[in-house]
């Protein structure tokens, strides 16, 4: 993923796009990468734990309980593997889009 990302950023930097458009592209790529995170996490999140916290967030949500929720979600590594796979796909699609735009 890192190599792919570096190649994409290099192409954008070398392009004739304006600085504003480059910034917009980086933001779009970041959003695209970031958007893969929560849907996958939600899929793997222990729903009973989530529901318990959401029923009384003021008193039940602490850093400890929140950290436990996240850790329980990612501890077996499956969620993170899926996220990484999706990030690679996003970068693949971005790569194609840039090529079509001759960037």
Partner 1 sequence: MSEMSEQPNPQELNGEHPTVTKVKEATEAVWKKKNIIQEYAEIHKSITHDRLAWHGGGIYIKWVNDIDMVSKAITMVDKKSVWRKVVAGLNSGLGRVWAATATATILAPLDIAYNVVTWPVRKILPRNLVKRSFLVAELAARNIVLGAGASAAAIGFEGNIAQKTVKATAETVLAAPEVIGTMAKRRIDSVVNKIMHPKKVA
The nearest distance, CB 99 to partner 1, in angstroms, is: 10
What residue ranges bind partner 1 (CB under 8 A)?
Answer: 1-2, 5-6, 9-10, 13, 17-43, 45, 47, 50-51, 53-54, 57-58, 60-64, 66-67, 69-71, 74, 77, 80, 83-84, 86-87, 89-90, 93-94, 96-98, 100-101, 103
> Three-state SS across 34-67?
HCCHHHHHHHHCCHHHHHHHHHCHHHHCCHHHHH
Contact present, 98 and 11 (Cβ < 8 Å): yes
Q: How far is the CB of 23 from partner 1 (least distance, A)?
A: 3
CB of 43 to partner 1, least distance (A): 6
Q: What are the C-alpha distances in Å from 19 to residues 6, 14, 26, 30, 49?
A: 18, 11, 11, 16, 45
Q: How far is the CB of 55 from partner 1 (least distance, A)?
A: 9
């Amino acid at each position: 993923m890192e190599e792919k990302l570096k190649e994409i950023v290099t192409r954008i930097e070398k392009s004739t796009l304006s600085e504003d458009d480059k910034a917009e592209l980086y933001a779009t790529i970041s959003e695209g990468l970031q958007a893969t995170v929560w849907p996958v996490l939600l899929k793997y999140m222990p729903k009973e734990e989530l529901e318990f916290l959401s029923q009384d967030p003021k008193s039940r949500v602490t850093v400890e309980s929140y950290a436990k929720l996240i850790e329980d979600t990612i501890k077996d590594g499956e969620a993170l593997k899926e996220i990484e796979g999706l990030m690679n796909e996003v970068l693949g699609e971005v790569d194609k889009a840039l090529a079509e735009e001759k960037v």
